[in-house]
Structure 1
Amino acid sequence: MNWKTAYRSFYYAQAPEPEDLVLNPAETALLCIDVQNLYLEIPADPQEAARWFPFHRRMREIVIPTTRGLQEAFRAKGMDVIHARIACLLEDGRDRSLSQKKPGWNALLLPKDSAASQLVPELAPLPGEIVVTKTTDSALTGTNLRLILANLGVRNVVLTGIFTDQCVSSTVRSLADESFNVIVVEDGCTAGTDELHRRELEILNMIYCQVLTSVELRAIMGL
């Protein structure tokens, strides 16, 4: 099974295979979503640490190495590497969107200068690379990223990051609504569980984006 037949939802189970992807390097950028220090912290509670262990293992063993490799490959070809992170501009977080103020796991108070809000060192931006700061799930609706991509002449956006079913998904849908061609790198993303990750990719694939492995993307782009 390859990207043309994998991650089929109910709606696309019988759909024909998509055409070959053509990704012009001059019109393609890599966008890395929310791989921040906060999410790599191990919970103090042993039960919570055990519950999140598969997520942390996938992050360390798969997602971060894959994303770092793609960043380096894009840079080597002179293509733009763009970073997005969640952070509030005010210390008290009054500027956050409602989804980040509601009680529960999604309630985030991440002042922009706090250590927890910074991108992890392994995926830190190089000098001169664009970093957008958002108080929403979508990196497009919560920032001036739409204008930035238009000014750069970008039509194809390759996405990695977390969480597949939250900020990655919201960004994918927003980009698709704006008629960007979106590629989600399967091994460059993850959710809280493998099941959530897989299900969300099935929902997004073929209508909002194309889901590829990093190996498939590299073969198509000659990276």
Structure 2
Amino acid sequence: MTTALLLMDFQNGIAGRYAEGGSDVIVNAQRALLAARAAGIPVVFVRVAFREGFPEAAVRNKAFGAIAQSPTAPYMGEDAEATQIVAELAPLPGEPVVVKRRYGAFASDLDVVLRGLDATDLVLAGVSTSGVLLSTVRHAADHDFGLTVLADACADQDPEVHRVLLEKVFPRQADVITVDAWAAGLGADAAARG
């Protein structure tokens, strides 16, 4: 049984909005990242971006079709600054960065990466709760991953939607805990093995 931490959509053009709004979500994600690294837990970064010309953005897709039609669309290109991981969570050499093409993290080669890591359990953090978190929790649960959602390492632009997802929806398929509780559990697991 292997656990992997997924840090999702912590990229300049998305997570930056939460930092500007006074949210601690990036700081909390950073604490989770440091705890995972200290415990030897693999970390996988997930970001959303598109190829030049946006061939993945079907016009009939309400969310992503608009990107291809927008004059500001290039900001979501694979090499754009907006799609790069925020500096506070910069991946180390060897830590995989997965590029997804939709809301959910599995709209990518994430499943291949997780199989390579032999991951059976996922710890999820990301922005937004109603976007990447919701889509990824549902997909991962349907594929029998053990799931933990780090409540204070996710955020949403709608606080009520965020609350309902964390308190009522996610607990049906995942353990919902704080970064501190998760990190404390890592210490207890290490002590038990030691």
* TM exceeding 0.5: yes
Aligned to 1:76: 38
Could you tell me which amino acid in structure 2 is paired with residue 101 of structure 1?
A: F
1:189 corresponds, among 154, 157, 170, to 154
Give me the whole-angstrom Cα distance separating, in 2, the residues matched to 1:187 and 1:199.
14
Give the CA deviation at 1:153.
1.4
Give me the whole-angstrom Cα distance separating, in 2, the residues matched to 1:72 and 1:41.
20
Aligned to 2:25: 63
Could you tell me which amino acid in structure 1 is paired with residue 12 of structure 2?
A: N
What do residues 136-165 of structure 1 show as CA deviations (whole Å, max 9, x unaligned)? 11111x112112212211111001110001
SS at match of 1:85: strand
What do residues 12-55 of structure 1 show as CA deviations (whole Å, max 9, x unaligned)? xxxxxxxxxxxxxx61110001011112556xxxxxxxxx89x7
SS at match of 1:205: helix
Aligned to 1:33: 8
Could you tell me which amino acid in structure 2 is paired with residue 187 of structure 1?
A: D
1:12-51 mapped onto 2 (5 Å cutoff): 27-40=2-15
Contact 2:64/2:102 (<8 A) preserved: no
Give me the whole-angstrom Cα distance separating, in 1, the residues matched to 2:100 and 2:2.
24
Residue ranges of structure 1 left out of the alignment (5+ in a row): 1-25, 43-51
TM-score by length of 1: 0.74
| Count of aligned pairs between the two proteins | 181
Could you tell me which amino acid in structure 2 is paired with residue 78 of structure 1?
A: G
Aligned to 2:108: 143
Aligned to 2:192: none
Give the CA deviation at 1:208.
2.0
- State the percentage of identical aligned residues: 33
What do residues 113-143 of structure 1 show as CA deviations (whole Å, max 9, x unaligned)? 0111111111111111001001111111x11
Give me the whole-angstrom Cα distance separating, in 2, the residues matched to 1:131 and 1:120.
12
User: Cα distance 1:145–1:167, how it changes in 2: closer, same or farther (>3 A)?
Assistant: same
SS at match of 1:222: helix
Aligned to 2:96: 130
2:64 corresponds, among 101, 117, 126, to 101
Could you tell me which amino acid in structure 2 is paired with residue 63 of structure 1?
A: V
Residue ranges of structure 2 left out of the alignment (5+ in a row): 189-194
Give the CA deviation at 1:101.
2.8
Asked if residue 113 in structure 1 is aligned to residue 84 in structure 2, the reply is: no
Give me the whole-angstrom Cα distance separating, in 2, the residues matched to 1:40 and 1:162.
6
Give the CA deviation at 1:211.
0.7
User: Cα distance 1:99–1:148, how it changes in 2: closer, same or farther (>3 A)?
Assistant: farther
Aligned to 1:8: none
Rg larger in structure = 1
Give the CA deviation at 1:103.
4.0
Contact 2:125/2:133 (<8 A) preserved: yes
Give me the whole-angstrom Cα distance separating, in 1, the residues matched to 2:154 and 2:16.
17
Asked if residue 159 in structure 1 is aligned to residue 134 in structure 2, the reply is: no
What do residues 76-122 of structure 1 show as CA deviations (whole Å, max 9, x unaligned)? 12210110000002x22122352443449xx8831100111111111
Contact 2:104/2:133 (<8 A) preserved: yes
Q: Quote the RMSD (CA, aligned, Å).
A: 2.2
